Amino acid sequence: MAVTGFSEVNARIDAACTRAGVGRDAVRLVVVSKTQPDESVREVYDAGQRVFAENREQGLRSRFESDLPVDIEWHFVGPLQSRKTQSVADRCALLHSLDRPKLARLWGEKSDVPALIQFNLAMEPQKSGYRPADADRVIDDVLEAGVRVRGVMAIPPVADEPDDVRPWFASLRDIYDRYRDRYPGIDVCSMGMTDDFEVAIEEGSNMVRIGRAIFPGHEA
């Protein structure tokens, strides 16, 4: 049952927060519900969760057309096609995947919903995102485009052991700290998924995106 996974994930977040020396309220859990039936989402909602995420415009739209509770806060965590910008902007409370200049311009024109700048930490060709080396220029350009920047996001390279991704998380935390020191309103460092969220919290993440550890058979 999803509620079992949800309870176990929260216990692991609690323990990671203790190791990191921060309170539990310092880390926000985003439950990634993609491909899951509405019944599973409601089960986790009934257990106390209010923030969920979808990774496709169609999936996000279908949640809004369902009878799920209206007080759910929906985030968008997947690659966003330019032509679907308005649809997603109309339905999400936070965009995690602002990954290129064209999307920044469109988002700034169409929405005042806040967004996270996505970085491709290892410059992997199969992943989108800005270059970490350009971080200082990137935020100026994104803010100039009219985007309400709330913080940063990244998906590190796949590693055999969670500890192997610590340097990548540390590099994103460095960018986050620089941004937070310079710009008011930046307060989100979104990093960490099912395989590495405990290490991410230890390295300074304050928002984790978890699906597979909660939903049986989930792919993320």
pLDDT tens readout for residues 80-97: 999 999 999 999 999 999
Q: Which residues of the chain have pLDDT under 50?
A: 218-220
User: What count of other Cβ atoms lies within 10 Å of the Cβ of residue 170?
Assistant: 11
Max distance between CA atoms of the chain, in angstroms, equals 46
| Residue 191 CB neighbour total at 10 angstroms | 30
C-alpha to C-alpha distance for 124 and 57, rounded to whole angstroms: 24
Instruction: Give the model's pLDDT for residue 220.
Output: 46
CB proximity list for 146: less than 8 A, separation 6 or greater: 108, 109
For 161-192, what is each residue's pLDDT tens digit? 889 999 999 999 999 999 999 998 999 999 99
Q: How far apart are CA 215 and CA 32, in angstroms?
A: 9
Residue 217 confidence (pLDDT): 62
Q: Whole-angstrom Cα distance, residue 184 to residue 153?
A: 18
Full set of structural domains in the chain with CATH:
2-210 (3.20.20.10)
